[in-house]
Amino acid sequence: MQADLNLLTVLDALLEEGSVMGAAQRLHLSSPAVSRTLGRIRKVTGDDILVRTGHTMTPTPYALGIREEVHRLVREANAVLSPSRELDLAALDRTFTVQCHDALTSSLVPVLVGRIAEQAPGVRLRVLAEHSADTDGLRHRVDLELGGGTPDLPEFRSETLGTDPLAVVMRSGHPCAGHLDLAGYAAQPHVLVSRRGRLTAPIDDLLASEGLHRKVIATVATVGAALQIAAASDALVTTTAILCRPLVEAFGLITRPLPAESPDAPINCNWHQRYDSDLAHAWLRDQVRTTLTQVLAP
């Protein structure tokens, strides 16, 4: 026999109110409906539950013995079906996994960690590097993915949190440090940042439209690796201006504006739809959004 959990709700009301009429009023049901359910409860349990004593109803010893347990079960079932819509940050104990490239790790993550530690000391961040290929990490182990891409499948959500203009990074004594035009830009060696190892970028289409072609001497997976090459050579690195600033300064490099009209790079936050109504996850997204606005501010 499959248990009908609705019987517990009626049984709880009967034991609390001590009458069919009282239980019916409490549950907003008719007295005949509650009487029929009481009959079903008696059949399931093999006990009378409530028996008439004069003008009142008296619970049986079995009913008295299970009253607290029934009330607890109903209360817990209601809690499961009506989750709290309030988030207690002081008591929140959770590990969030964020995947992003190294420029975001160096610029956004330190500020984000400080914000989270101040508001929710029980929360931990696990920061993973970008993978060289598309994975299903958002389906299983990654809470948030930060970067320029957006997932195609409808099960994922995406929000553009901001944009970052492109800049050209070079060593301080570079021949183009004083003046950089499009022809001079194309004439220099270049290092590309691509997690997939691509040897071209959208800027190459722009150069081609001007009859220019640049020489790519290397492609690397991280901004840090590209800047290391730039620091030891005349190679140029085209990357985001603001998010890469901590890495650029750490390597003692300088930036110059990209000598061409180019759209700013988007910064997207991606997550799986199962977290849409998760209060803690929504709070994390808000912290990332606020932190990025702070980092991108002039």
Q: Where are the domains of the chain?
A: 6-81, 89-163+266-296, 166-263
pLDDT of residue 134: 63
Which ranges in 18-60 belong to alpha helices (H)?
20-27, 31-45
Q: How does pLDDT run across 173-223, given as a tens digit for each residue?
A: 999 999 999 999 999 999 999 988 999 999 999 999 999 999 999 999 999
**Mean predicted confidence (pLDDT) in 124-131:** 91
pLDDT of residue 136: 75
pLDDT of residue 2: 56
Please tell me the distance from the alpha carbon of residue 215 to that of residue 40, in angstroms, as a whole number.
83
Confidence band, pLDDT 50/70/90 cuts, at residue 277: confident
pLDDT at 1 over 50: no
Write b or e for each residue in 104-130: b if 16 or more Cβ atoms lie within 10 A of its Cβ, otherwise e.
bbbbbbeebeeebeeebeebebebeeb
Q: Name the pairing type of β-strands 166-171 and 189-193.
A: unpaired
pLDDT of residue 79: 79
Please tell me the distance from the alpha carbon of residue 88 to that of residue 119, in angstroms, as a whole number.
10
CATH class of 89-163+266-296: alpha beta
**Proportion of the chain above pLDDT 70, given as a percent:** 97
When the pLDDT of each residue in the chain is averaged and rounded to a whole number, the result is 92
Instruction: Identify the bridge partners of residue 113 per DSSP, sorted by sequence position.
Output: none
pLDDT of residue 275: 92
Phi, psi of 146 (to 5 degrees): -115, 130
- The 3-state DSSP class for residue 161 equals strand
**Mean predicted confidence (pLDDT) in 134-145:** 84
Do the domains spanning 89-163+266-296 and 166-263 agree at the CATH topology level? yes
Confidence band, pLDDT 50/70/90 cuts, at residue 6: confident
Q: How does pLDDT run across 16-29, given as a tens digit for each residue?
A: 999 999 999 999 99
Instruction: Identify the bridge partners of residue 167 per DSSP, sorted by sequence position.
Output: 239, 257
CATH number of 166-263: 3.40.190.10
Neighbouring C-beta atoms of residue 39, cutoff 10 Å: 11
Token couple for 106: 């160096």
pLDDT at 3 over 70: no
pLDDT at 135 over 70: no
Residues in contact with 261: Cβ distance below 8 Å, sequence separation at least 6, in sequence order: none
Q: How does pLDDT run across 53-104, given as a tens digit for each residue?
A: 888 889 999 999 999 999 999 888 887 877 667 899 999 999 999 999 999 9
Architecture of domain 6-81: Orthogonal Bundle (1.10)
**Mean predicted confidence (pLDDT) in 101-129:** 95
DSSP letters of 255-269?
EEE-SS--PPEEEEE
**Mean predicted confidence (pLDDT) in 31-43:** 93
Strands of the chain, DSSP E: 50-53, 56-59, 94-100, 123-129, 144-147, 156-164, 166-171, 189-193, 215-220, 236-240, 253-257, 265-272
